[in-house]
C-alpha cells in the first residue's frame, strides 16, 4: 500500500461489510414491497376475472358487490402499504415546495382509488382495482430497477475515482 501511495495512487479498502449488509437490507425491503404488491395484484386480477365472467354469464348482485368491495379494499391496501413510498415522497415534495414525479403519480393513485370507491358505492360496474394494483406493482418495479441502476453507477464512479492517481 505504501508503494502504491508513493506512486500517487490512494489505496482504499473494499466496501465495508456493514455497507454491503445495509445494501442487502435495502434490497430486501424493496423486494418485500414488490412481493406484497404482486400478491395483491394477483388477487385483484382473479376477482376481476370473476367479475368479468359474471358480467357475461350472470352473477348474483350480492356476490358482485362483495367481490367489488373486496377488490377495492385490496387496491386500497396496495396503494397505502407498498405504494405509500410514492405518497410519502409526494407529501415531502409538496411540503418542501419542490414537486417531482411522485406528485402526479400519487394524485393518479388516489384519484383511481376514489373513482373506484365512487363507482362501487353507486353500484356501478367498473372498479378497476386490478388496474390500480397492477399500476402500483409496475411503478414499484420500475423504481427498484432505477434504484439499483443508480447504485451501480455510483459504485462504478467510486471505483474509477479510486483508480485515478491523486497526483
- What is the spatial distance between Cα 90 and Cα 102, in angstroms, rounded to a whole number? 5
- What is the spatial distance between Cα 131 and Cα 75, in angstroms, rounded to a whole number? 9
- What is the spatial distance between Cα 72 and Cα 67, in angstroms, rounded to a whole number? 8
CA distances from 22 to 82, 141, 161 (A): 20, 20, 22
pTM exceeds 0.75: yes
Dihedral over Cα of 123, 124, 130, 132: its sign: negative
Mutual orientation of helices 61-80 and 102-122 as an angle, nearest 10°?
A: 160
52: its cell numbers: 368479468
**In whole angstroms, what separates CA 52 from the centre of its chain?**
27
- What is the spatial distance between Cα 160 and Cα 36, in angstroms, rounded to a whole number? 37
The pLDDT of residue 3 is 81
Per-residue pLDDT of the chain (167 residues; tens, 9 = 90+): 788 777 776 676 666 778 888 889 999 999 999 999 999 999 999 998 888 887 778 888 888 889 999 999 999 999 999 999 999 999 999 999 998 999 999 999 999 999 999 998 988 777 789 999 999 999 999 999 999 999 999 888 888 877 777 66
Amino acid at each position: 500500500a505504501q508503494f502504491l501511495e508513493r506512486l500517487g495512487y490512494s489505496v482504499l479498502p473494499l466496501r465495508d461489510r456493514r455497507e454491503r449488509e445495509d445494501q442487502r437490507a435495502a434490497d430486501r425491503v424493496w423486494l418485500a414491497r414488490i412481493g406484497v404488491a404482486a400478491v395483491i395484484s394477483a388477487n385483484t386480477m382473479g376477482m376481476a376475472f370473476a367479475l368479468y365472467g359474471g358480467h357475461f354469464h350472470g352473477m348474483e348482485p350480492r356476490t358482485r358487490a362483495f367481490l367489488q368491495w373486496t377488490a377495492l379494499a385490496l387496491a386500497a391496501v396496495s396503494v397505502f402499504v407498498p405504494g405509500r413510498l410514492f405518497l410519502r415522497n409526494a407529501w415531502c415534495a409538496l411540503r418542501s415546495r419542490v414537486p417531482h414525479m411522485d406528485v402526479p403519480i400519487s394524485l393518479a393513485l388516489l384519484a383511481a382509488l376514489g373513482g373506484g370507491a365512487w363507482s362501487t358505492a353507486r353500484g356501478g360496474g367498473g372498479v378497476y382495482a386490478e388496474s390500480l394494483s397492477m399500476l402500483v406493482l409496475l411503478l414499484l418495479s420500475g423504481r427498484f430497477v432505477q434504484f439499483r441502476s443508480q447504485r451501480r453507477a455510483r459504485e462504478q464512479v467510486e471505483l474509477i475515482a479510486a483508480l485515478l492517481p491523486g497526483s
